[in-house]
Amino acid sequence: MTASPYAEFRELQTVVRDQVLRITLSNPPMNGMTPAIHGELAYIFRVANRDRSIRAVVITGAGDRAFSAGGDINRMAAKIDDHGAWNGAMPEAREIIASILECDKPTIARINGHAVGLGASIVLACDITVMVEKAKIGDTHVKVGLSAGDGGALLWPFLVGPVLARRYLLTGDLLTGAEAAAIGLITEAVPAADLDTRVDIWTERLARGATQAISLTKRSINANIRQQAQAYLDAHLGLETMTHLSADHRRAAFAFRDQEEPSFEGD
Please give the angle made by the CA atoms of 129, 130 and 135, to the nearest 5 degrees: 110
Report helix, strand and coil shares of the chain as percent, to nearest 5: 50, 15, 35
Instruction: Decide: helix, strand or coil at residue 57.
Output: strand
Say how far apart CA 101 and CA 227 lie, in whole Å: 10
Under CATH, domain 12-257 is a member of which superfamily?
Answer: 2-enoyl-CoA Hydratase; Chain A, domain 1 (3.90.226.10)
pLDDT at site 27 = 96
pLDDT at site 79 = 83
pLDDT at site 1 = 54
pLDDT at site 261 = 92
Asked if 136 and 110 touch (Cβ cutoff 8 Å), the reply is no
Task: Evaluate the omega torsion of the peptide bond into residue 262 and state whether it is cis, within 30 degrees of 0.
Answer: no
Q: What is the pLDDT along the chain (267 residues), one digit of tens a residue?
A: 567 999 999 999 999 999 999 999 999 999 999 999 999 999 999 999 999 999 999 999 999 999 999 988 888 888 899 999 999 999 999 999 999 999 999 999 999 999 999 999 999 999 999 999 999 999 999 999 999 999 999 999 999 999 999 999 999 999 999 999 999 999 999 999 999 999 999 999 999 999 999 999 999 999 999 999 999 999 999 999 999 999 999 999 999 899 999 999 999
**Helix (H), strand (E) at residue 237:** helix 223-244
User: For residue 241, with 0-12 CB atoms within 10 Å meaning exposed, 13-18 middle and 19 or more buried, which class applies?
Assistant: middle
Q: Cβ contacts of residue 1 below 8 Å, gap of 6+?
A: none
Residue 163: Cβ within 10 Å count? 8
pTM: 0.96
Q: Cβ contacts of residue 195 below 8 Å, gap of 6+?
A: 110, 112, 130, 132
Q: Cβ contacts of residue 35 below 8 Å, gap of 6+?
A: 85, 89
Say how far apart CA 125 and CA 248 lie, in whole Å: 29
Q: Where are the domains of the chain?
A: 12-257
Residue 167: Cβ within 10 Å count? 14
First to last CA, the chain: 58
Say how far apart CA 134 and CA 248 lie, in whole Å: 32
pLDDT at site 142 = 97
